[in-house]
């Protein structure tokens, strides 16, 4: 019998939406783990903007459309997925439930959606792929040291990952002040404050932290372990990503040469960079601001999505992530032309609340919300979604074709 990963706490079943799961996660996790999961950077301007952007759209629903045969199936390249959303890469996910990387991947496989494994997973990449199956993509935190980068890329290729997602929005570390206040570090280090906090969250301490400690040692990024004469040395991400501030598009072109499968560039927020990604041989991009965790003041992905789709939608598959918490958010991004939506925090709230089953619960909540919205706006298939189902809060439609209206709403250029 297959044992579900993570806590067997059934409270998550009562969660009616992602926000309920978030509240459960807040209660279960010590501060150091919860703030790392939930926080943004600096003043959280971008974090808030990611959510606020959805509020600027209203639906333009059509009625008396036969929506009795609804489907959320999408085809990306040559592959079919059950739902138009997947799980984004999240490092240190093992802080939220035991072997969360496997729990997330298994839930994604069960739901029939893609899962992106972070370089910064606590479980080695080969094991995640082997034990969870499904469609898995590998997210690369790249080092300017090509020998280091190539070693990881080769491992991901040999293990059988179907796509490589290169994250580009981290030339330097973000100012996540809560991490400094909480002394957050990986490899995880216990200090007095963390120990007291852990003791106040005994479920987490036993089921997540101590279980991980007994099973595989101090929680750490196992993909970065180096074997030096039989001794395992754990590298921190900072050590691994040497001179990541020197990376440029030639490194993507080099990756294109050594990586034989789909290549995606994550962290794109401008048409110009989407163009560079296509010119460098990428198959797709993630329009993303890293969930508001890197550059505070970056625009929300939803705001820049229409221009990027308009300019590059024919050449690149366009994924989007950042702030998605409701099915209606997902439908809005699809209507604006995204090929697929990805979720970072939402599945992690599920993992913290209920392990693998909690992640699946999060995905199911979103699936039923998307289904309801599609019925209510009168669009039974994802392919049928387009900007004509949306209007701006101001009353303008992003679909406007009228010249004056378009000039007025240059922001929505192209729709």
Ligand X SMILES: Cc1cc2nc3c(=O)[nH]c(=O)nc-3n(C[C@H](O)[C@H](O)[C@H](O)COP(=O)(O)O)c2cc1C
Rg (CA), the chain: 21
Per the annotation, the verdict on 201 as an active-site residue is: no
Contact present, 388 and 331 (Cβ < 8 Å):
no
Nearest residue to 126 (alpha-carbon basis) of 153, 149, 103, 160: 160
Angle between the N-to-C axes of helices 18-28 and 345-377, in degrees from 0 to 180, rounded to the nearest 10? 170
Region from 83-91, 101-109, 272-280, 303-311 binding ligand X, contact rule CB under 6 A? 83-91
Does 345 sit near ligand X (CB under 6 A)? yes
Q: Distance (Å, rounded) from C-alpha 145 to C-alpha 245?
A: 12
Nearest residue to 102 (alpha-carbon basis) of 394, 301, 351: 351
Q: Distance (Å, rounded) from C-alpha 386 to C-alpha 381?
A: 11
Minimum gap (Å) between residue 399 Cβ and ligand X? 26
Task: Work out which of 84, 94, 198, 322 binds ligand X, going by CB under 6 A.
Answer: 322
Minimum gap (Å) between residue 231 Cβ and ligand X? 26
Does 118 sit near ligand X (CB under 6 A)? yes
Question: What's the distance, Cα to Cα, between the start and end of the chain in Å?
Answer: 52
Does 266 sit near ligand X (CB under 6 A)? yes
Residues 156-195 that bind ligand X (CB under 6 A): 167
Residues 278-297 that bind ligand X (CB under 6 A): 288, 290-291, 293
Task: Work out which of 197, 273, 321, 339 binds ligand X, going by CB under 6 A.
Answer: 321
Does 89 sit near ligand X (CB under 6 A)? yes
Does 88 sit near ligand X (CB under 6 A)? yes
Q: Which is nearer to ligand X, 101 or 397 (CB)?
A: 101
Q: Which is nearer to ligand X, 57 or 240 (CB)?
A: 240
Q: Which is nearer to ligand X, 33 or 335 (CB)?
A: 33
Does 223 sit near ligand X (CB under 6 A)? no
Nearest residue to 373 (alpha-carbon basis) of 75, 60, 79: 60
Does 323 sit near ligand X (CB under 6 A)? yes
Task: Work out which of 29, 120, 208, 252 binds ligand X, going by CB under 6 A.
Answer: 120
Region from 75-83, 185-193, 317-325, 328-336 binding ligand X, contact rule CB under 6 A? 317-325
Task: Work out which of 343, 365, 377, 382 binds ligand X, going by CB under 6 A.
Answer: 343
For 140, the enclosing helix (H) or strand (E) is strand 136-140
The active-site residue, picked from 5, 290, 361, 399, is 290
Q: Which is nearer to ligand X, 223 or 397 (CB)?
A: 223
Q: Is the peptide bond before 187 cis (omega within 30 degrees of 0)?
A: yes
Residues 6+ apart with CB under 8 A from 402: none
Minimum gap (Å) between residue 154 Cβ and ligand X? 20
Angle between the N-to-C axes of helices 146-159 and 249-258, in degrees from 0 to 180, rounded to the nearest 10? 40
Q: Which is nearer to ligand X, 110 or 351 (CB)?
A: 351
Q: Distance (Å, rounded) from C-alpha 346 to C-alpha 274?
A: 26
Nearest residue to 258 (alpha-carbon basis) of 115, 168, 155, 167: 155
The mark string for 123-152 relative to ligand X (x by CB under 6 A, - otherwise) is: ----------------x-------------
Contact present, 46 and 300 (Cβ < 8 Å):
yes
Q: Which is nearer to ligand X, 17 or 381 (CB)?
A: 17
Return phi, psi of residue 175, to 5°. -90, 80
Beta bridge partners of 115: 87, 136
Question: Cα 345 vs. chain centroid, distance in angstroms?
Answer: 7
Minimum gap (Å) between residue 302 Cβ and ligand X? 11
Q: Distance (Å, rounded) from C-alpha 93 to C-alpha 181?
A: 20
Minimum gap (Å) between residue 141 Cβ and ligand X? 6
The residues of the shown chain that bind ligand X, judged by CB under 6 A, are: 36-37, 50, 88-91, 118, 120, 139, 167, 266, 288, 290-291, 293, 321-324, 343-346
Catalytic residues: 290
């Amino acid at each position: 019998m297959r044992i579900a990963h993570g806590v067997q706490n059934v409270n998550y079943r009562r969660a009616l939406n992602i926000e309920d799961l978030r509240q459960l996660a807040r209660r279960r996790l010590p501060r150091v783990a919860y703030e790392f999961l939930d926080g943004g950077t600096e003043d959280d301007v971008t974090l808030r903007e990611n959510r606020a952007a959805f509020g600027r759209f209203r639906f333009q629903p059509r009625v008396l459309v036969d929506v009795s045969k609804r489907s959320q199936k999408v085809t990306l390249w040559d592959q079919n997925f059950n739902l138009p959303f997947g799980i984004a890469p999240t490092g240190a996910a093992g802080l939220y439930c035991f072997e969360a990387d496997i729990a997330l991947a298994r839930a994604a496989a069960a739901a029939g959606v893609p899962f992106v494994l972070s370089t910064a997973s606590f479980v080695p990449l080969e094991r995640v792929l082997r034990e969870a199956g499904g469609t898995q993509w590998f997210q690369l935190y790249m080092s300017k040291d090509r020998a280091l980068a190539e070693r990881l890329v080769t491992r991901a290729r040999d293990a059988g990952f179907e796509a490589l997602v290169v994250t580009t929005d981290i030339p330097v570390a973000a100012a996540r002040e809560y991490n400094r206040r909480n002394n957050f570090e990986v490899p995880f280090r216990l200090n007095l404050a963390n120990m007291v906090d852990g003791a106040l969250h005994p479920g987490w301490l036993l089921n997540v932290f101590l279980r991980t400690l007994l099973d595989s040692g101090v929680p750490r990024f196992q993909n970065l372990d180096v074997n030096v004469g039989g001794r395992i040395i754990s590298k921190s991400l900072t050590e691994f990503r040497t001179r990541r501030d020197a990376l440029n598009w030639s490194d993507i072109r080099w990756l294109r040469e050594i990586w034989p499968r789909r290549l995606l560039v994550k962290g794109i927020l401008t048409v110009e960079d989407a163009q560079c990604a296509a010119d460098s041989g990428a198959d797709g991009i993630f329009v993303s601001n890293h969930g508001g965790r890197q550059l505070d003041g970056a625009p929300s992905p939803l705001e820049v999505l229409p221009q990027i789709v308009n300019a590059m939608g024919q050449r690149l598959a366009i994924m989007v992530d950042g702030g998605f918490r409701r099915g209606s958010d997902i439908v809005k991004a699809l209507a604006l032309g995204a090929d697929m939506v990805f979720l970072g925090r939402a599945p992690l709230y599920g993992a913290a609340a209920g392990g693998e089953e909690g992640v699946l619960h999060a995905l199911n909540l979103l699936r039923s919300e998307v289904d309801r919205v599609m019925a209510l706006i009168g669009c039974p298939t994802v392919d049928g979604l387009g900007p004509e189902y949306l209007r701006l809060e101001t009353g303008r439609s992003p679909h406007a074709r009228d010249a004056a209206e378009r000039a007025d709403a240059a922001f929505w250029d192209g729709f």
